[in-house]
């Protein structure tokens, strides 16, 4: 899965011959999992039709400040509705202007605002990428170079033009980067700026099932939702994630997440130790069984008496074993408590040599297993305590990753 999955991408198309490539660019962004809207300069419609781009993007294409202007240009009479450049600018996570002509780049650099695209650019709060497309002499002209420098100083990001045959017949620099290269450039740029880029994060999730006989097991009510949300949040921040999960219905598809399914505590212990040594961060949110049957029946146990006695033995304490081995890793554990919550969590933090423990209580409505929300308290190894209100598990995951980033970057 691309880092662009779920992103809202606004594509700005200006009046250059390379505008014909914008159709392919829209398709590639959508294939990457992004939502796409398109805003064009009026003259750009001479090179590629709004109908083509709206069909591919599944959104209306805007080129004027009101839809009345667009309708009249198409020979229709519609009631005027304002196309808000502010709303478009705020909607986008990424604004890509491709092709970006010398004319538009000069206007962007000097604050000229005479069409919807430029007004949207001046309203955008997101990252802005521009892919120049123009003839050789225009590309090398001092005013164009000055536009590049100004836009770079504004924090805009240039996707360099390539060399090749140009519309004029000349051969040289000024050819817009190919759509595939534009997508790859943006993906790599976003990844390179993410705070967990290059970090390896190990996460456990879900319950473990401890076998009694071929059809029965000892388990718990963990759904794995919290661990999966943490994995997604870490991957979206650039981390390479190993997600070791017990039996769960949760699913995730992300290029940076490697999902390893396990069943029992011993299997989870083995897999965690396989990857822990090379991890920078380990977050153990799985609800691992504390005990397992000492003997596992090879055949289904028949109902022969009113009672059944099972002898249980302790499972290996995965979290404690990692605390004993800890060197460079930032180690996070979870504590689900029903009484003496804070004291029990602090004790677990120290006994298991953790950097941070996430406390949640079954006494808090909306927290715990099988919910989409959680109410947590962070306690770090300096005994700093941070309490949070009830939030979605996605928001809790974000808070946790922000806390970890602040610690490992300190």
| Active site (catalytic) residues | 220
Residue 163: asked if its preceding bond is cis (omega within 30°), the reply is no
Q: Which residue spans within 262-397 are E strands per DSSP?
A: 281-284, 291-293, 312-314, 330-337, 356-361, 373-374, 376-380, 385-387, 391-392
Distances (CA, A) of 81 to 37, 67, 68, 69, 159: 17, 5, 7, 10, 34
- Tokens 């590049």 locate to 148
Q: How many CB atoms lie within 10 A of CB 68?
A: 17
Residue 87's region, left for phi above 0, alpha for psi from -120 to 50, else beta, is: alpha
CA distance 172 to 135: 8
Tokens of 289: 């069984």
Q: How far apart are CA 64 and CA 84, in angstroms?
A: 10
CB atoms within 10 A of CB 399: 17
Instruction: Sort 352 into a burial class: Cβ within 10 Å, 0-12 / 13-18 / 19+.
Output: buried
Three-state DSSP class for residue 68: helix
- 130, β-bridge pairs: 97, 158
Q: How many CB atoms lie within 10 A of CB 106?
A: 16
Alpha carbon dihedral 281, 286, 291, 295, in 10-degree steps, equals: -100
């Amino acid at each position: 899965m691309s880092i662009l999955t779920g992103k809202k991408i606004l594509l700005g198309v200006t009046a250059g011959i390379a505008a014909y490539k914008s159709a392919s660019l829209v398709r590639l962004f959508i294939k990457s999992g992004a939502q796409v809207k398109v805003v064009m300069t009026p003259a750009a419609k001479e090179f590629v039709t709004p109908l083509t781009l709206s069909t591919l993007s599944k959104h209306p294409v805007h080129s004027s400040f009101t839809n009345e202007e667009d309708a009249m240009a198409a020979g229709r009479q519609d009631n005027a509705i304002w196309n808000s450049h502010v709303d478009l600018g705020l909607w986008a996570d990424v604004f890509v202007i491709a092709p970006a002509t010398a004319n538009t780049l000069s206007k962007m650099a000097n604050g000229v605002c005479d069409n919807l695209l430029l007004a949207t650019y001046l309203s955008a709060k997101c990252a802005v990428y521009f892919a120049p497309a123009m003839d050789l002499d225009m590309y090398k002209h001092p005013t164009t170079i000055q536009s590049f420098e100004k836009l770079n100083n504004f924090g805009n990001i240039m996707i360099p033009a390539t060399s090749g045959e140009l519309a004029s017949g000349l051969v040289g620099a000024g050819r817009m980067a190919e759509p595939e290269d534009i997508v790859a450039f943006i993906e790599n740029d976003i990844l390179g700026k993410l705070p967990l880029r290059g970090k390896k994060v190990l996460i456990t999730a879900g319950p473990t099932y401890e076998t009694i006989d071929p059809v029965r097991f000892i388990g718990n009510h963990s759904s794995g939702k919290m661990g999966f949300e943490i994995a997604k949040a870490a991957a979206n921040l650039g981390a390479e994630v190993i997600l070791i999960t017990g039996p769960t219905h949760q699913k995730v598809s992300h290029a940076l997440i490697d999902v390893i399914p396990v069943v029992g505590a011993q299997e989870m212990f083995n897999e965690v130790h396989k990857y822990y040594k090379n991890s920078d961060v380990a977050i153990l949110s799985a609800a691992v069984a504390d005990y397992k049957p000492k003997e596992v029946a090879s055949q289904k146990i028949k109902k022969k008496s009113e009672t059944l006695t099972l002898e249980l033995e302790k499972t290996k304490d995965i979290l404690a074993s990692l605390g004993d081995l800890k060197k460079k890793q930032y180690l996070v554990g979870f504590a689900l408590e029903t009484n003496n919550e804070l004291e029990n969590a602090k004790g677990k933090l120290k006994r298991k040599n953790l950097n941070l423990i996430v406390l949640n209580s079954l006494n808090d409505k909306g927290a715990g297993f099988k919910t989409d929300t959680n109410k947590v308290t962070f306690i770090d190894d300096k005994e700093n305590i941070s309490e949070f209100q009830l939030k979605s598990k996605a928001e809790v995951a974000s808070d946790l990753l922000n806390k970890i980033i602040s610690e490992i970057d300190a």
